[in-house]
């Protein structure tokens, strides 16, 4: 608990949960917001020209612990998250051992209690060992707080298994998130299938592999009244399918990554494996469709799919390199640069996609706003006008595989607060920061 009292004075408070987008003083007293308005108490932290928003929430990260500590740990990954303005992240289950039972979930929660710089809401596996055959211990994981199940990186190939998973998850009103990739269409694929893959001589990952599995999953979810989450939407037709499903009242949510709403398969012509990712970078028309999906609310959340890989594995020839990109430290700035400044999203809509909507979709009490008296002070203060150049070596991740290195972006995190305590001050992560574990009572 923090016992200090301070006031962000004159910040532009952007809080989609309350609809507020106006300048105010925000007083923080201990771990909570004391008031939002004209009052000021304690130390004054000038915030004129800066944006104060609810701390960001990422539905899709890879923290790699246990088992992949050469790439990332709970400590390093959540430090990168805090540096990027996040106060909550959802790590995927493709660790070693796999998070397919309550023991591994509890291990991740313990690591988070000891070392995390933000709250950690683990995702449990759908199937044992991510093998796609037998269901994992969904009930035991739900009992320790898991709200979402995913074999991310591995599609649930069998419709029978997927249907059972959706049916069981519905018991706890939990969500199944299926990595949408019909593997019979993508075996050995290296990049998006199209003119570029022909030109470069790399095996293609056709768009239909994603779309056909999303269509199947939507039909299964509809039949059961179950909750489906579509991760890393990458094609125009996937956006259209989700849009139609929402109109049909299917209980579906969806996320898009900064790389899928920014980069195209043109990048692959460099053969730089930093651009190798699953699902792959697609065409400009897909990028546009994903942006439209975010603008009209078809896609609920911006999630990073932060996927660290150590240089000795990632920096190999294209065919041998693993898929995945860093994202936590650049997502806010890429969103401001690529979506807010060009007018695709308002700043409030961007904050909704980066914080409020993902927090609500997983019932993360105390995250995503509202910024109001009595609520936990989980906040980010950022300068939307500050320009900076991304460098891989300054990342707080243990890995270096950012596809945005060398890019100039707008929008820089100044401070991040977790329950009133600075996890990042003047852009620099501060340790130690954490006392509680998963979630927080409002």
Give me the active site residues, please. 305
Measured CA to CA, the distance from residue 440 to residue 87 in angstroms comes to: 12
Which residues have a Cβ under 8 Å from the Cβ of 214 and sit 6 or more positions away? 180, 230, 238, 241, 242
In whole angstroms, how close is the CB of 7 to ligand DOR at the nearest point? 41
What's the min distance (Å) between Cβ of 408 and ligand DOR? Answer: 25
Give min distance, CB of 71 to ligand DOR, in A.
8
Q: Judged by CB, which is closer to ligand DOR: 33, or 99? A: 99
Handedness of CA 364, 366, 369, 370 (dihedral sign): positive
The least CB distance from residue 152 to ligand DOR, in Å, is 5
CB of 402 to ligand DOR, least distance (A): 13
Indicate the residue among 154 and 415 with the shorter CB distance to ligand DOR.
Answer: 154
49: left (phi over 0), alpha (psi -120 to 50) or beta: left
Nearer to ligand DOR, 54 or 153 (CB): 153
60/430 Cα distance (integer angstroms): 24
Structure tokens at 434: 């954490």
- Note every long-range contact of 214-220, with CB atoms under 8 Å and residues 24 or more positions apart, other chains counting: 214/180, 214/238, 214/241, 214/242, 215/241, 216/159, 216/162, 217/162, 217/178, 217/180, 218/242, 218/245, 218/250, 218/252, 220/159, 220/162, 220/163, 220/166
Cβ 259 to ligand DOR, closest distance in Å?
Answer: 9
N-terminal to C-terminal alpha carbon distance within the chain: 14
Q: Which residue has the tokens 């991304």?
A: 390
**Comparison of 12 and 192: residue with beta carbon closer to ligand DOR:** 192
Q: Tell me if 45 sits within 8 A of 398, measured CB to CB.
A: no
Question: Could you check whether the bond before residue 9 is cis, i.e. omega within 30 degrees of 0?
Answer: no
Max CA distance (Å), the chain: 64
**Comparison of 91 and 420: residue with beta carbon closer to ligand DOR:** 91
Q: What is the DSSP letter of 338?
A: I
Residue 152 or 211: the one with the smaller Cβ distance to ligand DOR is 152
CB 92, min distance to ligand DOR, A = 7
The Cα–Cα gap between 7 and 39 comes to 9
Instruction: Between 36 and 89, name the residue whose CB sits nearer to ligand DOR.
Output: 89
- Partner residues linked to 58 by β-bridges: 89
Supply the DSSP symbol for 258.
T
DSSP letter string, 201-225: T--EE-HHHHHHHHHHHHHHHHHHT
| DSSP-derived secondary structure for 158-171 | -HHHHHHHHHHHHH
Residue with tokens 């939307």: 384
State the residues that interact with ligand DOR by CB under 6 A.
Answer: 62, 94, 152-153, 179, 277-278, 305, 307, 322-324
Least CB distance from residue 176 to ligand DOR, whole Å?
15
Least Å distance between CB 333 and ligand DOR?
Answer: 21
Cα angle: 55, vertex 57, 61; to 5 degrees: 135
Distance (Å) of CA 321 to CA 192, 317, 344, 401? 16, 6, 34, 11
CA distance 334 to 259: 9
């Amino acid at each position: 608990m923090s016992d200090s009292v301070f006031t962000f004075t004159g910040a532009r408070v952007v809080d989609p949960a309350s609809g507020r987008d106006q300048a105010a003083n925000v007083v923080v007293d201990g771990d909570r917001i004391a008031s939002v308005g004209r009052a000021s108490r304690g130390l004054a932290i000038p915030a004129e020209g800066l944006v104060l928003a609810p701390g960001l929430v990422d539905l899709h990260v890879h923290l790699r612990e246990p088992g992949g500590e050469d790439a990332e740990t709970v400590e390093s990954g959540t430090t990168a998250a805090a540096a990027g303005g996040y106060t909550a992240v959802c790590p995927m289950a493709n660790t070693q051992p796999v998070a397919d039972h309550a023991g591994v979930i509890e291990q991740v929660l313990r690591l988070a209690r000891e070392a995390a710089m933000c709250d950690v809401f683990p995702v449990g596996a759908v199937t044992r060992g991510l093998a796609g055959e037998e269901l994992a211990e969904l009930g035991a994981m739900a009992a320790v707080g898991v709200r979402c199940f995913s074999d991310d990186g591995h599609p649930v190939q069998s419709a029978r298994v997927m249907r059972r998973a959706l049916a069981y998850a519905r018991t706890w009103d939990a969500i199944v998130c299926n990595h949408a990739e019909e593997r019979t269409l993508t075996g050995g694929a290296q990049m998006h299938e199209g003119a570029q893959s022909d030109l470069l001589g790399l095996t293609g990952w056709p768009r239909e592999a994603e779309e056909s599995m999303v269509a199947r999953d939507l039909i299964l979810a509809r039949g059961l009244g179950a909750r489906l989450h579509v991760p890393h939407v990458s094609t125009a037709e996937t956006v259209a399918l989700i849009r139609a499903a929402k109109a049909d009242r299917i209980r579906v949510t969806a996320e898009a990554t900064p790389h899928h709403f920014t980069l195209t398969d043109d990048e692959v012509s460099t053969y730089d494996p930093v651009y190798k990712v699953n699902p792959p970078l697609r065409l400009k028309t897909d990028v546009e469709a994903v942006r439209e999906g975010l603008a009209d609310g078809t896609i609920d959340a911006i999630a990073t799919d932060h996927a660290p890989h150590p240089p000795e594995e990632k920096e190999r020839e294209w065919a041998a390199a693993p898929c995945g990109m860093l994202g936590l430290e650049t997502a806010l700035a890429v969103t401001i640069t690529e979506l807010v400044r060009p007018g695709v999203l308002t700043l409030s809509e961007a904050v909704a996609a980066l914080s409020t909507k993902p927090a609500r979709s997983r019932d993360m009490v105390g995250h995503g706003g509202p910024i109001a008296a009595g609520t936990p002070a989980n906040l980010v203060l950022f300068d939307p006008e500050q320009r900076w150049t991304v460098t891989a070596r300054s990342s707080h991740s243990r890995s270096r595989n950012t596809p945005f290195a060398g890019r100039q972006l707008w929008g820089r995190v100044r401070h991040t607060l977790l329950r009133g305590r600075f996890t990042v001050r003047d852009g620099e992560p501060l340790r130690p920061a954490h006392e509680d574990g998963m979630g927080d009572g409002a």
